[in-house]
Amino acid sequence: MGTDLTSTAQAMVAEGRGILAADESTGTIGKRFASVNVESTEENRRAYRETLFTTPDLADAVSGVIMYDETIRQSSSDGTPFPELLAGHGILPGIKVDTGAKPLAKSSEEKITEGLDGLRERIAEYVGLGAKFAKWRAVITIGDGIPSTGCINANAQALARYAALCQEGGLVPIVEPEVLMDGDHSIERCFEVTEATQRAVFTALADQRVSFEEMVLKPNMVISGKGNERQAGVEEVAEQTLRCLRRTVPAAVPGVAFLSGGQSAEVATDHLNAMNAMGPQPWVLTFSYGRALQDPALAAWKGEASNRDAGQQALAARCKANSAASRGAYTPETSAA
Ligand code: 5MM
């Protein structure tokens, strides 16, 4: 029998729809704004998020939006709280609940994501603000002698404790173990680390009694390190990513919503399309992109109210392309804005 959380998880990955990751913390959005010479004031952050969230027909391709703590408390210029505005358009409001990836003790290059203290209470508050799902991102770095088993297991444990608290408190957890594409490693090394990470994550999720039907996985794709001399092509990335997921992800998980991780907007769409064109899989495969959805919109908006329509058109174009890719039906021609 289905539960409310099962229905929400299924709605998050409903056909032709994916997730807009707009949960940049203040530091990260500051860097994004700096790239287009926009000052990171609270009002500019609010105005930018309003531009994204009021994009006409956003709900055609976007099932949910992940917000940051500041954003979920903000409102549009007519005073409508963002969670209410999104819900009014048939879009599920989501919230990032981790408090960031911090240095892992006794390891100079590895990270552990924090935020479990007080999480039960914060989840209750976010539910009161209208959130229907949550997100927690673990960061795994590939380098000389890393990741360590200790780092993978500590992050898997934190993801699992977060996911269990979410389900107990009434939110669908997005479980995001991100193996970074930074580095000069090969696609084979990315496969090995991604497989080990996902295995550890699903073992920890089971140990913490997380219901697989009531969650969404947000993984990296299996891809060459940015600095590797051999950059795997679209078909190879799609094949290796699916091979890895089939080994590690239970069929009970309703959907896999990929992060883009620094891929260009077009390449992220090509990869998603290629995977979906390879035939039916046990889970829905869709997007939960941040930069690959937002970068063209941010570049068009540039902090100017007069560029609002241009910013929205740029976002709508990426949404349309990725919606098609989630069906394996993307071609640059059919998805032209
Ligand atoms: C949108 O960026 C998210 C927030 O990052 P910080 O916590 O570092 O501020 C990030 O977690 C994002 O949701 C995922 O990494 C996916 O975004 P990309 O850009 O990799 O698709």
Q: For the segment 88-101, what is each residue's pLDDT rounded down to a tens digit? A: 999 999 999 999 99
Active site annotation includes 214: no
Q: How confident is the model at residue 260 (pLDDT cuts 50, 70, 90)?
A: very high
Residue 70 buriedness (CB in 10 A; 0-12 / 13-18 / 19+): middle
Query: Residue 108: which pLDDT band, with cuts at 50, 70 and 90?
Result: confident
Q: How do 172-179 and 255-258 pair as beta strands?
A: unpaired
The Cα-based distances of 236 to 223, 233, 242, 251, 324 in angstroms read 8, 5, 10, 23, 20
- Tens digits of per-residue pLDDT, 224-252? 999 999 999 999 999 999 999 999 999 99
Nearest of 276, 208, 211 to residue 241 by alpha carbon? 276
When pLDDT is averaged across residues 63-69 and rounded to a whole number, the result is 99
Task: Report pLDDT for 333.
Answer: 78
CATH number for the domain including 220? 3.20.20.70
Task: Indicate whether residue 261 lines ligand 1 (CB < 6 A).
Answer: yes
CA of 209 to the centre of ligand 1 (A): 27
Residue nearest to atom 2 of ligand 1 (CA): 24
pLDDT tier, 211 (very low <50, low <70, confident <90, very high otherwise): very high
Is 336 or 322 the better-scoring residue by pLDDT?
322
Indicate if the pLDDT at residue 335 is higher than 80.
no
> Does residue 1 carry a pLDDT above 60?
no
Active-site residue identified among 24, 50, 110, 176 = 176
262-304 residue pLDDT tens: 999 999 999 999 999 999 999 999 999 999 999 999 999 999 9
Confirm or reject: Cβ of 132 under 6 Å from ligand 1.
no
Residue nearest to atom 20 of ligand 1 (CA): 261
334 has a pLDDT exceeding 80: no
User: Distance from the CA of 329 to the center of ligand 1, in angstroms?
Assistant: 26
Predicted local distance difference test score (pLDDT) of residue 201 = 99
Give the pair of three-digit tokens for residue 308: 């609002």
Give per-residue pLDDT as tens, 133-180: 999 999 999 999 999 999 999 999 999 999 999 999 999 999 999 999
Q: Using a pLDDT cut of 90, give the percent of the chain over it.
A: 97
**Interval 16-26 mean pLDDT:** 98
For residues 83-91, average pLDDT:
98
Cβ of 52 below 6 Å from ligand 1: no
**Ligand 1 neighbour 99 (Cβ under 6 A):** no
Beta strands per DSSP E along 52-208: 62-67, 92-96, 101-103, 111-113, 133-140, 172-179
Average pLDDT over residues 317-332: 97
Q: Which domain holds residue 168?
A: 2-335
* Mean of all residue pLDDT scores within the chain: 97
The pLDDT > 70 percentage for the chain reads 98
Q: Is 102 a catalytic residue?
A: no
pLDDT of residue 3: 78
Quote the CA–CA distance of 201 and 199 in Å, as a whole number. 5
- Structural domains counted in the chain: 1
Q: Does the beta carbon of 219 lie inside 6 Å of ligand 1?
A: no
Q: How many helices and strands, by DSSP H and E, does the chain display?
A: 12, 10
Q: What is the torsional sign of CA 99, 102, 104, 105?
A: negative
Q: In b/e form, how buried is each residue of 162-174, taking b as 16+ CB within 10 angstroms?
A: bbbbbbebbbbbb
Q: How sure is the predictor about 332, in pLDDT bands with cuts at 50, 70 and 90?
A: confident
Place of tokens 């069929």: 251
Local confidence band at 2 (pLDDT 50, 70, 90 cut-offs): low
